[in-house]
Amino acid sequence: MSNEGVGAAVARSFLQRALGAARLDADVYEEVEADASANSQAAWVVTLSAVAAGLGSIGNNGLSGVVWYTLCALASWYIWAAVAYWIGTRLLPGPCTEADRGQLLRTLGFSSAPGVLRIFGLFPPLAGFVFLLSAIWMLVAMVVAVRQALDYCTTGQAIAVCAIGFPIYALSLTLSLLLLGPWPI
């Protein structure tokens, strides 16, 4: 990144980064990957997304569901991130893959930005649609995040990592559904 690009990257706010990540802007993912100080920002995106999932599920299980689904969303995200790191760096590394955990955690953290929409699960007519839309959008964002963090040459490599790892994420969320009851999807 040129000095001019670094200056622009530093000037971007948390909100600009989160919106850029939701817009699938590869430059934002590159910026976040390179910025070790963005760890807390990435953690906030994951936390806000998880809280939105919890609040969006309140219609099904009340306040206890908010806590449960928030915790499940956080745990599922962490499991997904660990699996994606292992798959991307050990099972399917590309010729240019040089990523540490922090880089992938930051980019995957920001890929959770579309999950904030799950707050609209508070409105029953929208709940199923919003949860499905945000899940698909987050998966696409994860592909962009994985591609940028693992320095893959093609999007196909990132899709492969997500295709192998995402079912594990989905399974962990499904287990939470079986334990407490369905989310609004």
The tens digit of pLDDT for each residue in 31-79 reads 999 999 999 999 999 999 999 988 988 877 778 778 888 988 898 899 8
Q: Tens digit of pLDDT for each residue in 135-151?
A: 899 999 999 999 999 99
Q: What angle do CA 143, 46, 39 make, to 5 degrees?
A: 90
Q: What share of the chain has pLDDT > 70, as a percent?
A: 88
29 pLDDT band (50/70/90 cuts)? very high
Report the C-alpha gap between 21 and 110 in whole angstroms.
6
Report the C-alpha gap between 180 and 162 in whole angstroms.
27
The total of structural domains in the chain comes to 1
Residue 127: per-residue pLDDT:
83
Report the C-alpha gap between 54 and 119 in whole angstroms.
8
Residue 104: per-residue pLDDT:
94
CB-based burial, 48-61: b 16+ in 10 Å, e otherwise = bbbbbbbbbbbebb
Q: Tens digit of pLDDT for each residue in 110-130?
A: 999 999 999 998 888 888 899
Q: Is residue 128 domain-resident?
A: yes
| CA-to-CA separations, 117 to 23, 72, 109, 113, 151, in angstroms, rounded | 13, 17, 15, 8, 29
Report the C-alpha gap between 140 and 128 in whole angstroms.
19
- Closest by CA to 165, choosing from 69, 101, 76, 43, is 76
Whole-prediction pTM: 0.87
CB 92: neighbour CB atoms within 10 A? 17
CB 29: neighbour CB atoms within 10 A? 26
- Residues 81/21/163/56 CA torsion (nearest 10 deg): 80
Report the C-alpha gap between 183 and 61 in whole angstroms.
9
Domain that holds residue 174: 38-180
- Residue holding tokens 């994860």? 142
Residue 118: per-residue pLDDT:
92
Q: Tens digit of pLDDT for each residue in 144-172?
A: 999 999 999 999 999 999 999 888 877 87
Q: Is residue 151 domain-resident?
A: yes
Q: Is residue 12 domain-resident?
A: no
Asked if 55 and 171 touch (Cβ cutoff 8 Å), the reply is: no
Residue 114, CB half-sphere, CA atoms under 13 Å: how many?
Answer: 21
Q: Is residue 101 domain-resident?
A: yes
Using N-to-C axis directions, what is the helix angle for 101-110 and 124-149, rounded to 10°? 150
99 pLDDT band (50/70/90 cuts)? confident
